[in-house]
Amino acid sequence: MKALGIVGSPRKNGNTDILVSEVLRGAKDSGSKVEMVFLNDLEIKPCQAICSDYCKRTSNCKIKDDMTDLYNKLFESEVIILGTPVYWYGPSAQFKAFMDRWYAFSHPKYILKMRGKKFILIAPFEESDTSAANPLVEMVDKSANYLDAKFHSSLLVSVGEKGAIKQNLEAMNRAYKIGQEIK
């Protein structure tokens, strides 16, 4: 089993980073191969919507940047941990750019590339009301459905300051357990 962790926050050692790392630590301890990617370290250009005449024909994206490698990492992984802080009730810009580029394989002819993959959403946000994450949850849920992937589980935690999630032992344990249960 291979688990790929995506961190969509620009903050290294921030809450998303810490939680995704903890999920991967649990996954590794239970025998999975793990890898983590910081989207902010990569060059991922916004989708240019040229799919109708290129990527829908080939299932490849015409834009050549760091997404080329990341496509392969996605295809090789059975479990994809989607980590993003809630920014304005949705994902971060880095994360949205990354997900928009999935359009290259969303054509019915190529959709099999994501079929059956398990998505785990990790999303910290500052507000105390968990509904702040609802639009993001819905985005991931509908996207998983469209791609015939599985929205396996989510960890939505209220936390604001950088790294403060370490003090929330319940959330840290939950993250580790989610990882451990990846099989």
With b for 16 or more beta-carbon neighbours within 10 A and e for fewer, the 54-81 pattern comes to ebbeebebebeeebeebbeebeebebbb
State yes or no: residue 77 binds ligand FMN (CB under 6 A).
Answer: no
State yes or no: residue 11 binds ligand FMN (CB under 6 A).
Answer: yes
- Distance CA(182)–CA(2), nearest Å, equals 9
Part in contact with ligand FMN (CB under 6 A); list of ranges 34-42, 50-58, 79-87, 107-115:
79-87
At 6, list the tokens.
Answer: 């995506």
- Among 41, 65, 69, 126, contact with ligand FMN (rule: CB under 6 A): 126
Nearer to ligand FMN, 30 or 154 (CB): 154
Nearer to ligand FMN, 55 or 97 (CB): 97
- Among 25, 45, 150, 162, contact with ligand FMN (rule: CB under 6 A): 162
Part in contact with ligand FMN (CB under 6 A); list of ranges 36-44, 72-80, 121-129, 167-175:
121-129
Nearer to ligand FMN, 9 or 59 (CB): 9
Under rule CB under 6 A, how many of the chain's residues touch ligand FMN? 18
At 34, list the tokens.
Answer: 């793990």
Q: Which of 121, 115, 124 is nearest to 167 (CA)?
A: 124
- Distance CA(168)–CA(56), nearest Å, equals 44
Q: Which residue has the tokens 């249960």?
A: 181
State yes or no: residue 14 binds ligand FMN (CB under 6 A).
Answer: yes
